[in-house]
Amino acid sequence: MTLLRLSPRALSRSRFALSPLAETFGALRMLTNPCTDPWLASWHERHAATFRARVASDRFAAGLVRLLVTASWLPDFVTLPPTGGMRTTLAQELDAVRRFSDPEIRTQLEASDQHTDIAGGLDWLEGTGWAERCAQLLDTVWRDHVRPDWPRRRALLEREVTYRAGLVAVYGWSNALGNMNKRSEWVGEDAIRFSHRPMADRVVGPEGMLFVPVTLARGTWLCEVPPDSFALVYPARGVAERGGGPADDRVRALVRLIGPVRARILLELSRPATTTELATTLEVSLGTAGGHITVLREAGLIEGTRVGRRVVYRRTDDGDRLAG
């Protein structure tokens, strides 16, 4: 078992962040494999073939992607803690990737190659300028496959952060982390278990650590910059379930009963959200979303709770019964 140890100050300064690099790395892994996530099924269908053809035509890219997808030990240059909080950009993160030297890249890839069940070696690692080539591959995946879908993804990730931040404010970090993923859990008052492997514990620095959601149904990894900067990447809550929901005939009945937009809002509120987040997800104006939220609230189907400057809406028991 390996722990992340946090002092009281580190815990108090821990926070959430977004990472386009983590989202891009997750997308790269998804595009390589069959899609099992209903929420991303249509995106995967549009992009997978193009991505795979591009990778197959480039020996360096093919070798790198194979290793990144199969290795249980990820290289540091794709697992960097974001530095811009909720406004982190991929350009910022790729600048950090490009600062790795060729010897550092080789050392990390050799470590990854020792933790994969698919033997392949590193004979594809030819020439020089490997950090730049890695950055170019990630930039291409972002530009062609992730960025067109980023508004939808970002809206979901911001909802996740709103939800978790509300839990932290009311119940503390231990409850907020309780169901982040199957591998991590709070241990005692000052540590997070993030791996069952018997490795040295990590000590989080006084600036705290970052929690970074991504739009993957499963998978989590630790980002670190020695000696004490860490970020835990985890699947946003409920992503895998968002493609499911009530049967079509019941959805149609709900639409007839309360109208299409109100029905969609009620179904979306299986996870708490703000008016802005709902408007973005449903692609309606802020005024339209607000008007329908008012009706649903007055009917006792949803309720709002203020979290900082935001009002977060969730379904009431009556709303849950109607949506089901």
Give the tens place of pLDDT for each residue, 213-229. Answer: 999 878 889 999 988 89
Q: Which of 180, 252, 186, 253 is nearest to 218 (CA)?
A: 180
Pairing label, strands 2-5, 210-214: unpaired
What one-character-per-residue DSSP string does 148-162 give?
GGHHHHHHHHHHHHH
Position 51 pLDDT exceeds 50: yes
For 245-323, which CATH class?
A: mainly alpha
Q: Which amino acid is at 179?
A: N
Cα distances (angstroms) measured from residue 86 to each of 106, 107, 173, 287, 295: 31, 31, 19, 25, 32
Do residues 15 and 213 make contact, with C-beta atoms less than 8 angstroms apart?
A: no
Position 45 pLDDT exceeds 90: yes
Q: Three-state DSSP class for 255?
A: helix
pLDDT for residue 180: 66
Position 243 pLDDT exceeds 70: no
* b/e 250-260 (16+ beta carbons within 10 angstroms → b): ebeebeeebee
Position 251 pLDDT exceeds 90: no
Q: Which residue has the higher pLDDT, 106 or 306?
A: 106
In this prediction, residue 240 has a pLDDT band, given cuts at 50, 70 and 90, of very low
Do residues 21 and 218 make contact, with C-beta atoms less than 8 angstroms apart?
A: no
Do residues 19 and 215 make contact, with C-beta atoms less than 8 angstroms apart?
A: no
Do residues 266 and 315 make contact, with C-beta atoms less than 8 angstroms apart?
A: yes
Whole-prediction pTM value? 0.79
What one-character-per-residue DSSP string does 84-107 give?
SGGG--HHHHHHHHHTS-HHHHHH
Give the tens place of pLDDT for each residue, 121-173. Answer: 899 999 999 999 999 999 999 999 999 999 889 988 988 888 788 778 777 78
Q: What percentage of the chain carries pLDDT values higher than 90?
A: 57
Total residues found in the chain within this entry = 324
